[in-house]
Amino acid sequence: MVDVILGLQWGDEGKGKIVDYFAPKYDMVARFQGGPNAGHTLYVGGKKIVLHQIPSGIFHENKINLIGSGVVLDAVTLKKECEAVAAFGIDYRKSLYVSERTHLILPTHRAIDRASEAAKGRDKIGSTLKGISPAYMDKTGRNGLRVGDLLAGDFRKKYDQLKKKHQQILDTFSFDEDISQSENEFFESIEFLKTLKIINGEYFINDAIQSGKNILAEGAQGSMLDVDFGTFPFVTSSNTITGGVCNGLGIAPQKIKEVIGITKAYCTRVGSGPFPTELHDETGELIRKNGNEFGSTTGRPRRCGWIDLVALNFACMINGVTQLVMTKADVLDTLDVLKVCTGYSVNGKETTQVPFQMDGISIEPLYKEFTGWQTDITGIKDFQALPPQMDTYIDYINSTLEISVKYISNGPGTNQLIVAQ
């Protein structure tokens, strides 16, 4: 049996904490897509750690953690992550597995990423500059190097051949950068990667399913950043939705049972791209301050706005969401008025559907207002103890989406999670 946890907005929904909460119920946590642009924040023994590639089940004893084939892997980042995990007394070598079909991010991928964004100028996508898009481009272009290639004797030869192709791309950007130091670090990290458990991920996970193991598939980024269904071209380079579980881990659709979708009580976005409910006023700044809305990977300030039920309904539809988790509800504690986007006015025409193209057109959000609860909810443990104004807010979201919010995160601690009975 496979359950899925994924974000329903533009990422940064607080997936790390939620995966950490659910992990004890499962035998394996498997990351199915994305790269080191993910930032899943956990608090272990009161200490903060941000995981970028290692699945969030790593801190739970006797849990298998699999980096699946749909991920693009940065060996340098992985080595640093493993060292950070080890500092907490965790023996990652016992529980961390890497699929041999996982593609590698090379130093030249990072250089191409920087060159490409620099060339776009003001029209840049807002890349994290970690080489993820170029690595996926090599994957679809059938040029990429995979973790399994490390076990062959000609890896350096293949690397040099691909480096020549990358240099031709860099030359078109007139981009000249010395990557020798990055290469030294890369090859040191490659040697480290070879000491980990590299396995055939598809047989590995299907054998686990066949033997009755429970699997939790962990997504990165958010549904509205999906390369096919997100706000293209301001998207990530992988399939962030439930469908990505199948091609990212090599499992059949019928193996998936629960789809646990995560949404903030409001909405945020990092980088460029359309964001219909974005607030450019004091309220937006207050939400950013109260929610500490700065990227866990990049440190960039997140754009903040009201919850968008048009986009959220779309995300629930394409993911087949069966239950909802609402995070950072406590961030709204001090607000006297809350707004919920119920529809768009697109070029003067009202709709409740996400349009084909969200940038370059006039989108005016249509709002329904609610009275804020203006109560500190961080200590609440029981759904029945929620303020009535908050009940009204959540009930409206439940009825609009026709999916119930079953969990409410009311603080950063793993124990700050209110569970519906």
Write down the mean pLDDT value for the chain: 93
pLDDT tens for residues 40-85?
Answer: 887 777 788 889 999 989 998 889 999 999 999 999 999 999 999 9
**140 φ, ψ (degrees, to nearest 5):** -70, -25
Query: What is the spatial distance between Cα 5 and Cα 400, in angstroms, rounded to a whole number?
Result: 21
Query: What is the spatial distance between Cα 319 and Cα 242, in angstroms, rounded to a whole number?
Result: 5
Q: Which residue has the higher pLDDT, 295 or 226?
A: 226
Residue ranges and CATH numbers for the domains of the chain are: 2-102+198-259 (3.40.440.10), 106-193 (1.10.300.10), 262-419 (3.90.170.10)
Query: What is the spatial distance between Cα 2 and Cα 32, in angstroms, rounded to a whole number?
Result: 12
Burial 276-311 (b: 16+ CB within 10 A, else e): bbbbeeebbebbbebbebebbbbeeebbbbbbbbbb
Does 330 qualify as catalytic in the annotation? Answer: no
Does 12 qualify as catalytic in the annotation? Answer: yes
Highest averaged pLDDT of the listed ranges 123-137, 269-283, 287-301: 269-283
Pick from 395, 242, 274, 257: nearest CA to 326? 395
Q: Is the pLDDT of residue 415 over 90?
A: no
pLDDT tens for residues 216-265?
Answer: 999 999 999 999 999 999 999 999 999 999 999 999 999 999 999 999 99
Q: Would you call 175 helix, strand, or coil by DSSP? A: coil
Tokens 């080890």 identify what position?
86
Residues in Cβ contact with 209 at an 8 Å cutoff, skipping those fewer than 6 apart = 1, 2, 215, 251, 255
Residues in Cβ contact with 358 at an 8 Å cutoff, skipping those fewer than 6 apart = 231, 273, 274, 276
Q: How many CA atoms lie within 13 A of 53 on its CB side?
A: 30
Task: Determine which one of 3, 12, 27, 226 is catalytic.
Answer: 12
What confidence category does residue 120 fall into, taking pLDDT thresholds of 50, 70 and 90?
A: confident
pLDDT tens for residues 349-401?
Answer: 999 999 999 888 889 999 999 999 999 999 999 999 999 999 999 999 999 99
Q: Is the pLDDT of residue 148 over 90?
A: yes
CB 18 within 8 Å of CB 217: no
Looking at residue 282, what is its pLDDT? 95
Q: Is the pLDDT of residue 125 over 80?
A: no
Q: Is the pLDDT of residue 123 over 80?
A: no
CB 259 within 8 Å of CB 6: yes
Q: Is the pLDDT of residue 298 over 80?
A: no
Largest CA distance in the chain: 66
What confidence category does residue 421 fall into, taking pLDDT thresholds of 50, 70 and 90?
A: low
What contacts 24+ positions apart, CB below 8 Å, involve 157-160? 159/106
Looking at residue 152, what is its pLDDT? 86
Task: Determine which one of 27, 40, 52, 330 is catalytic.
Answer: 40
What confidence category does residue 308 fall into, taking pLDDT thresholds of 50, 70 and 90?
A: very high
